[in-house]
Every structure is written in structure tokens, then in C-alpha cells.
Amino acid sequence: MYPGAEREHTAVVKRTTVLAAGGFLLGGVTYLAAETIAALGWSGRSYSYARNNISDLGIPDISRLHAVMNTGFVVDGALFVLAGLGLSMLFEGRARWVVSVTSVVHGVGSIVVGLAHASVDGASTPHAAGAGMAIIGGNLVLLAAGRYGGRAGAPRWYTVGSATAGVVGLAGLALFLADTGILGGGTFERISVYTIIGWEIVTGALILIERRLSKAR
């Protein structure tokens, strides 16, 4: 490696992770904004976050602002892929591979959910597959952050919180699929999704704060 190459590589990694942080923040906020706007534009009776599935907001027949929700799925998914690949540069070996692959699985799944929306008759095969990829892949990213985050200097509260959120998210998915009728299907589905959205926002904010503090030192 030529003189200064290591310093240049470090600078590239820092710039990339800052861009990744911005991607996570923008993606998470975009998703929440799209869901809120689409819910406010719901046709007929008020949209229920506990009773209705998230994908209901993307069905043209019953959601006036379906395009907003489906666009939110696609934008968040695309940003997650880019941000996840950027974040993976903080790791090496298996950790980098795990973070990269799970991020792509989640992001592509979210994009598919937005492009192949559900219908009043239920979810199509592509939509169901995309939802599974998004929820499982996304919560696996959280588990990976919990497992490997310490290697990149992440604080203990962050790694423990990431791992815990990943477990909670997968448990929420299991309860949603079990269709127990407790709390409403929308509640458990949102538990499995909001863990990911919340992690995006927290991760993005943490990286940006750490970078600002490091410059101030």
C-alpha cells in the first residue's frame, strides 16, 4: 500500500458511512411520512393501525393515496440497500457479508412490496414474498448490528438494543402469521416493521452525531 493510502481509505469509509447514515434517516422518515399521509387519506371509515394491515394502504381500490404508500415502500427499500452497503464498509470478512446480504434482502423486498401491491382479495405471491424478505431480512440486519456493531465501535446500548429489537421484530412477525386475533393483526405486523424503521432512524442519527463529535475533538 502506497504512503497515505490507509489514510485515504479511512476518509472514504467515513464519507461513505455518513452518506449511509443520511440514507437510513431519510428512508425511515420517508416511510413513516408515507404511511401517515396514506392513512389520513383512507377511504370510508378511519384507518385502524391495530386492525388494518400496512399493505392495505397501498391497495388502489380502498386507499385513495395508495401511490404515496407504495412510493414510500420503494424509496425506503432503495435507500436501505444503498445505506446498508455503505454501513457494511465498517466491517470486514463475514460481518461485512452478513450486513450487506441482509440489507439487500430487506431493501429489495420492500421495493417488491411497493411495486406489486396487494389487492382486496389478498396479497399476491410477489407481494407476500417481498413482505417476507423485507421483514425477515430487515430484522436480521438488526441482529447483525447487535452481533457485530461492537467491532465498529458502536456503544453497548446500541448493540444490545439492536439485537433486542431484531428478536422483538421476528416475534411480532410470528404472532402476525399465527393470526391469534389478539390486539389485531395490524399491531403485530407493525411491531415487526417498526423495529426496522426505528433502527434506521436511530442508526442514522447515531452515526451523524458520532461524526460531528469526532470533528469537534
- Give the per-residue pLDDT at 12: 62
Return mean pLDDT, the chain.
90
Cα gap 31→171, rounded to integer Å: 22
Q: How many other CB atoms sit within 10 Å of the CB of residue 157?
A: 9
- Give the per-residue pLDDT at 73: 98
Find out whether 73 and 28 touch, Cβ atoms under 8 Å: no
Instruction: Encode pLDDT of 163-210 as tens digits.
Output: 999 999 999 999 999 987 777 778 999 999 999 999 999 999 999 998
Cα gap 63→61, rounded to integer Å: 6
Q: Whats the size of the chain, residue-wise? A: 217
0.85 exceeded by pTM = yes
Cα radius of gyration (the chain): 18
3-state secondary structure of 63: strand
CA 65 vs CA 59, 68, 69, 126, 153: distances in Å: 9, 5, 7, 21, 42
Contacts of 3 (CB under 8 A, 6+ apart): none
Residue 95 pLDDT greater than 80, yes or no: yes
- Give the per-residue pLDDT at 11: 63
